[in-house]
Structure 1
Amino acid sequence: MHEAPIIKLGGLNIDLSIVFMLIVSCVIVFIIARLATRNLSVENPGKMQNFLEWLVEFVRGLSNSTMDWKKGKPFISLAMTLIMFIFVSNMLGLPFGVVTDVHDAEKAQIFGQPLVSVTEKMEAIHKQHPNEEPEVEVAWWKSPTADASASMALAIMVFLLSHGLGMFKNTRAYFKHYVHPYPYFLPINLIETFSKPLTHGMRLFGNIFAGEVLITVILRLTSLGPVGGVFSVIGLIVWQAFSIFIGTIQAFVFTMLTLLYISQTYAAEDDH
Structure 2
Amino acid sequence: MHEAPVIMLGGFHLDLSVLLMLIVTSAIVFIFAIIATRNLSVDNPGKLQNFMEWAVEFVRNLISSTMDMKKGKHFISLALTMILFIFVGNMLGLPFQAVTDVKDVNAATVFGKPIVTAVEAYEKAHAKDPEAHPHIELAWFKSPTADLSVTMGLALVAFLVAHGLGLFKNTRGYLKHYVQPYALFLPINIIETASKLLTHGMRLFANIFAGEVLIATILKLTSFKVLGAIFAIPLLAVWQGFSIFIGGIQAFVFVILMMVYISQTIETHEEH
TM over 0.5: yes
Q: Which amino acid aligns with 1:209?
A: F
The residue aligned with 2:197 is: 197
Residues 173 and 270, structure 1, Cα contact 8 Å, conserved in 2: no
Match of 2:109 in 1: 109
Q: How does 1:47-196 map to 2 (within 5 A)?
A: 47-196=47-196
Q: Go from structure 1 to structure 2 and tell me whether the alpha carbon gap of 1:193 and 1:20 turns closer, same or farther (over 3 Å shift).
A: same
Q: Distance in 1 between matches of 2:61 and 2:228?
A: 46
What does residue 216 of structure 2 align with?
216
Identity %: 63
Q: Is the 1:176–1:270 contact (alpha carbons within 8 Å) kept by the matching residues of 2?
A: no
Match of 1:226 in 2: 226
Return the offset for 1:225.
Answer: 3.6
Match of 1:20 in 2: 20
Alignment deviations for residues 71-108 of structure 1 (CA, whole Å, 9 cap, x no partner): 11111000000000000000000000000000212100
Change (3 A) 1:166 1:123: same
Which residue is equivalent to 2:42? 42
- What is the Cα deviation at residue 271 of structure 1? 6.1
Provide the secondary structure at the position in 1 that maps to 2:141: coil
What amino acid is the match of 1:26? S
Q: For residue 191 of structure 1, report the CA deviation from its aligned partner.
A: 1.2
Q: Would the aligned equivalents of 2:6 and 2:15 in 1 still touch at CA under 8 Å? A: yes
Q: Is the 8 A contact 1:151 1:201 kept in 2?
A: yes
Partner of 2:5: 5
Cα deviation digits, residues 202-232 of structure 1 (max 9, x gap) = 0000000000000010011112342221110
3-state SS of paired residue (1:67): coil
**Residues in 2 aligned to 1:69 and 1:269: alpha-carbon distance in whole angstroms:** 18
Does residue 260 (structure 1) correspond to residue 245 (structure 2)? The answer is no
The amino acid across from 1:188 in the alignment is I
Question: What CA distance in whole angstroms lies between the structure 1 residues aligned with 2:131 and 2:64?
Answer: 65
What SS is found at the alignment partner of 2:155? helix
TM-score of the pair, normalised by structure 1: 0.98
The answer to whether the 8 Å contact 1:102/1:108 transfers is yes
The CA distance in 1 between the partners of 2:172 and 2:42, in whole Å, is 44
**1:182 shift after superposition:** 2.2
Deviation at 1:134, TM superposition (A): 2.5
Q: CA RMSD in A?
A: 1.1
Please give the per-residue CA displacement for 1:87-140, whole angstroms capped at 9, x wherever unaligned. 000000000000000021210001111101111111111111211222210000
Deviates more, 1:173-182 or 1:77-86: 173-182
C-alpha separation in 2, matches of 1:132 and 1:224? 23
Q: Partners of 1:69 and 1:271 in 2: how far apart?
A: 14
How far is 1:199 from its partner?
Answer: 0.4
State which drifts further: 120-129 or 17-26: 120-129
- Cα offsets for 1:14-56 (capped at 9, x unmatched): 0000000000000000011001100001111111110111011
CA apart distance, 1:142: 0.3
Separation in 2 of the partners of 1:11 and 1:95?
34
C-alpha contact 1:25 1:89 (8 A) present in aligned 2: yes
Unaligned runs of 5+ in 1: none
Checking the alignment, whether the CA contact within 8 Å between 2:222 and 2:232 is kept in structure 1 is yes
> How big is the shift at 1:269?
4.5
